C-alpha cells in the first residue's frame, strides 16, 4: 500500500479510523491522507481483512476506473473508498456492480438535489452528468470468491469538469458516507440474480433505456436482464444481450 501520511494519523473530517468504524458499525477502517488507489490498498490487505473493511482516502493520486481509465480524486472533494466484502454466491457477483449502483443511487437521492440515474454497468448520473463510478475486483480461491473489493468514487463537491457533477451544494461528506456504506453492504450481501423488483427499480432510474447507442452494439437500449446484461434492440428488431463493454450513446445525455 502507498500513502503520503501514516494511516494511523489520517483523519476523515476530523474523525480517526476508530471513530469512523464506530460511526459506520464496521469491523475495520483504514484512513489515508493521500493514497495511490484505495482499490490497490484493499487488495493488498484483502487476505486478512474481515468483511466490511473500509479503505478511505482524502485524496487519490492514481484512482482507477473501468478499462484502465483514471478517476479524478481531488483532496476533500468526494468519497474515494473501497469496501472489502466476502460474498459466497458466485451468481450474485455477476450483478454486484449493478446492485451497488442501484442501492447507492437510492441511498444518495436525498442529497443530490435531483433524482440519481443509473447507467449500465457501473455509473451514477444526475441531470446528464456523472456523479459516481464503481469498479469491483474479485479475488478467487479456486472456483469460489475469496473476497471482493468494491471501489466507489463519489463527487461530493462539484468537479471542474463539464461532464461531471456533485451532490447538492453544502452536502457534508460524512452525511454521504453514512448513507452510502450501508447501501453498498446490502448490495454486496444480496444473493442470486436481480429480482423482478430490482429490475423495476433499475428501469425507473435507467438513463439509457429507450436511447440510441453506438456501442457495445448499435441500436436502442431495451433495459437489462436478471443476469445484468445490457439488452439492445437492433434496427431489425433483434435483441442482443451484452455482458461486458462500454455503453456509448449515439448523442450526448441532456444536462438540463
Phi, psi of 80 (to 5 degrees): -115, 105
Half-sphere exposure of 122 (CA within 13 A, CB side): 21
> Any idea which architecture 7-194 has in CATH?
2-Layer Sandwich (3.30)
Contact assessment for residue 223 and residue 191, using Cβ atoms and an 8 Å cutoff: no
Average pLDDT, whole number, for the chain? 92
Burial 101-117 (b: 16+ CB within 10 A, else e): bbbbbbbbeebbeeebb
Helix axes 196-205, 96-112, angle to 10 degrees: 50
Place of cell 444481450: 241
Domain ranges of the chain: 7-194, 208-249
Query: pLDDT tens for residues 179-188?
Result: 999 999 999 9
Q: What is the pTM of this model?
A: 0.92
Q: What is the pLDDT of residue 58?
A: 94
Query: pLDDT tens for residues 221-254?
Result: 999 999 999 999 999 999 999 999 999 999 877 6
Query: pLDDT tens for residues 49-90?
Result: 999 999 999 999 876 655 455 556 788 899 999 999 999 898
Mean pLDDT over 153-176 rounds to: 95
CATH of 208-249, one of 2.30.30, 1.10.3470, 3.30.70, 1.10.10: 2.30.30
Give the rounded percent of residues in the chain with a pLDDT score beyond 90: 82
Amino acid at each position: 500500500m502507498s500513502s503520503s501520511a501514516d494511516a494511523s494519523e489520517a483523519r476523515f473530517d476530523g474523525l480517526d479510523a476508530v471513530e469512523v468504524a464506530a460511526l459506520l458499525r464496521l469491523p475495520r477502517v483504514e484512513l489515508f491522507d493521500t493514497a495511490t488507489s484505495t482499490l490497490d490498498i484493499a487488495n493488498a490487505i484483502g487476505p486478512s481483512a474481515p468483511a466490511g473493511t473500509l479503505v478511505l482516502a482524502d485524496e487519490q493520486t492514481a484512482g482507477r476506473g473501468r478499462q484502465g481509465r483514471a478517476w479524478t480524486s481531488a483532496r476533500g472533494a468526494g468519497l474515494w473508498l473501497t469496501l472489502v466484502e466476502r460474498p459466497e454466491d458466485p451468481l450474485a457477483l455477476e450483478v454486484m456492480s449493478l446492485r451497488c449502483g442501484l442501492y447507492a443511487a437510492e441511498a444518495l437521492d436525498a442529497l443530490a438535489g435531483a433524482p440519481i440515474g443509473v447507467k449500465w454497468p457501473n455509473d451514477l448520473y444526475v441531470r446528464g452528468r456523472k456523479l459516481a463510478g464503481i469498479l469491483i475486483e474479485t479475488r478467487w480461491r479456486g472456483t469460489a470468491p475469496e473476497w471482493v473489493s468494491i471501489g466507489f468514487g463519489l463527487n461530493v463537491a462539484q468537479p471542474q469538469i463539464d461532464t461531471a457533477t456533485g451532490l447538492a451544494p453544502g452536502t457534508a461528506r460524512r452525511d454521504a458516507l453514512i448513507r452510502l456504506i450501508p447501501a453498498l453492504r446490502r448490495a454486496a450481501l444480496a444473493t442470486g440474480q436481480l429480482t423482478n423488483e430490482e429490475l423495476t427499480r433499475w428501469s425507473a432510474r435507467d438513463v439509457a433505456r429507450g436511447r440510441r447507442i453506438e456501442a457495445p452494439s448499435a441500436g436502442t437500449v431495451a433495459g437489462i436482464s436478471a443476469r445484468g446484461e445490457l439488452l439492445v434492440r437492433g434496427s431489425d428488431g433483434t435483441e442482443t444481450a451484452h455482458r461486458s463493454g462500454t455503453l456509448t450513446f449515439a448523442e450526448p445525455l441532456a444536462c438540463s
